[in-house]
Structure 1
Amino acid sequence: MDEVKMEKLKIQLQQLMNKSHEFLHKIPPTQLYAAIGAVLFTIFFFSIVRLFKRGSSNTVVLTGLAGSGKTVLFYQLRDGSSHQGTVTSMEPNEGTFVLNSETTKKGKIKPVHIVDVPGHSRLRPKLDEFLPQAAGIVFVVDAVEFLPNVRAASEYLYDILTKASVVKKKIPLLLLCNKVDKVTAHTKDFIRKQLEKEIDKLRTSRTALSSADVTNEYSLGVPGEAFGFHQCYNKVTVAESSGLTGDISQLEQFIRDYIKA
């Protein structure tokens, strides 16, 4: 019985193909080409729309070592408050809002989705959940306690800059030197140079990668040359901020450079 059904199905399919063939032959070539062109254009159009939607993310990820001031910056962006100065987050802070400095502006302003990822080493894997949707990454550095933490900051930054999810999408990164209002704060140029030196050392120590690591990690810099952030696959810029005083204009500018209002 099954063989009989299969034979009938084959005959029906053959008849359908014959009718389709006859139908196509009856259509004038110009109309046929126009129809094919319309189908191809429609496929192309929807492909472009899907690509645009993927590239129009409004997510910015704040990350960095614990204690660098990420959460204070989050609250400054959201409501202009330092949240009483010291905040330690063990879970990501998330919010979609118009930047506090833009609330008085007239007209429609695009909200921003800000994610503050905890800096504790055990909680950093949470960063991977948000990177694929990020339009920008802000790596926050404590400009006051920078030198004691330069090695740890360099390792964390190196890991981010070599992640496939960051490299393939060329997600821009802002190296934000926070707490610059303090007298003992280091300058952004000093911090940039020290991080470049440390990352240069890391390149040497991580040349012997296992085959499992190679699939997930890209190399940094140019062989035979000292490392500089300008050699990264994605754009890296350096700026300053003070979460406590509310001086976050350079952070806001970075956000609006990649998420148009």
Structure 2
Amino acid sequence: MEGLEQWKIQAEQWSQQALQYIHQIPPNQLYAALAVLLFPIIFIFFVRLFKRTKSNTIILSGLSGSGKTVLFYQLRDGSSHQGTVTSMEPNEGTFVLHSEETKNGKKKPIHLVDVPGHSRLRPKLEEFLPQAAGVIFVVDALEFLPNCRAASEYLYDLLTNASVVKKKIPVLLLCNKTDKVTAHTKEFIRKQLEKEIDKLRASRSAISAADISSDFTLGVPGEAFSFTQCPNKVTVAEASGLTGEIFQVEQFIREHVKP
């Protein structure tokens, strides 16, 4: 016990001497010394903050039959895989885009996830959204009208998801199969989806908050819904997975997963 008391006394003496020494240092020199000590700590903190690896995950979502899996294989190896059946498990892979394999310079691989469109399997989307750099929502432009309501409900849930809203995850609304003569245009699809989402917004706002599964509401009260009102960026593009016309898809991916 005596040894412990002596250490306490010694520590108090050292602390008093240190305080006396600090008080003797001119303020300018003291501030400079503190800056020298704190700068490396602050520098290391910001280096670690900005050096965090940015996500390279892109999610393909949408209703079953919209052509997500065909797009997956076109992006991966340039093939259409026309015989592909409806996915029951997420189809994922990490690879350099097929169109970039022969180009000079090092390209960053992407992690592409094709999430099944069946309603019972959509909760799997939740597993990947927190790490997504972007989401491609695929719509069948050929069979759009019969599926408009279902696609709108899926898209509404996606746009009000907590991860999408808080992280402002960009969404590409991709009108697929536009190589067909009877396919609807992207302008028509966009307007129809906005109208349906506007109806959904009104109907869901009438339901008690306890029954609403969405994390956030969409749009501006008193105004017709538009994708421009979303906190995250929503763009509309066209593609054809079967013919390989996917330039706008690749452009979206490289905009959010830098080479």
TM-score range, shorter chain: 0.7 to 0.9
Q: How many residues align?
A: 258
Deviation at 1:48, TM superposition (A): 3.4
Deviation at 1:79, TM superposition (A): 0.5
For the residues of structure 2 that align with 1:120 and 1:7, how far apart are their CA atoms? 72
Please give the per-residue CA displacement for 1:102-159, whole angstroms capped at 9, x wherever unaligned: 0111111111111111111111111111111111110011111111111111111111
**C-alpha contact 1:57 1:133 (8 A) present in aligned 2:** yes
- Partner of 1:177: helix, strand, or coil? strand
Q: What is the TM-score with the length of structure 2 in the denominator?
A: 0.88
- 1:49-198 → structure 2 map (5 Å cutoff): 49-54=47-52, 56-198=54-196
**C-alpha contact 1:134 1:171 (8 A) present in aligned 2:** yes
- Structure 1 range deviating more: 109-118 or 82-91: 82-91
Please give the per-residue CA displacement for 1:208-236, whole angstroms capped at 9, x wherever unaligned: 4425859x612111111110101110110
- Partner of 1:124: helix, strand, or coil? helix
- Structure 1 range deviating more: 245-254 or 28-37: 28-37
Tell me the residue number matched to 1:241: 239
- Specify which of 20, 31, 34 is matched with residue 33 of structure 1: 31
Residue ranges of structure 1 left out of the alignment (5+ in a row): none
Please give the per-residue CA displacement for 1:66-98, whole angstroms capped at 9, x wherever unaligned: 111111111111110112343321111111111
CA RMSD of aligned residues (A): 2.7
**C-alpha contact 1:85 1:244 (8 A) present in aligned 2:** no
- Structure 1 range deviating more: 21-30 or 92-101: 21-30
- Specify which of 226, 230, 233 is matched with residue 232 of structure 1: 230
Tell me the residue number matched to 1:218: 216
**C-alpha contact 1:112 1:259 (8 A) present in aligned 2:** yes
> Structure 2 vs 1, CA of residues 55 and 161 (structure 1 numbering), >3 Å: closer, same or farther?
farther
**C-alpha contact 2:204 2:212 (8 A) present in aligned 1:** no
For the residues of structure 2 that align with 1:12 and 1:186, how far apart are their CA atoms? 85
- Partner of 2:242: helix, strand, or coil? coil
Which amino acid in the other structure matches residue 124 of structure 1? R
The alignment-based identity, stated in percent, is 72
Which amino acid in the other structure matches residue 150 of structure 2? A
- Structure 1 range deviating more: 14-23 or 62-71: 14-23
> Structure 2 vs 1, CA of residues 112 and 228 (structure 1 numbering), >3 Å: closer, same or farther?
same
Residue ranges of structure 2 left out of the alignment (5+ in a row): none
Q: What is the TM-score with the length of structure 1 in the denominator?
A: 0.87
Which amino acid in the other structure matches residue 224 of structure 2? A
For the residues of structure 1 that align with 2:12 and 2:127, how far apart are their CA atoms? 50
> Structure 2 vs 1, CA of residues 53 and 28 (structure 1 numbering), >3 Å: closer, same or farther?
same
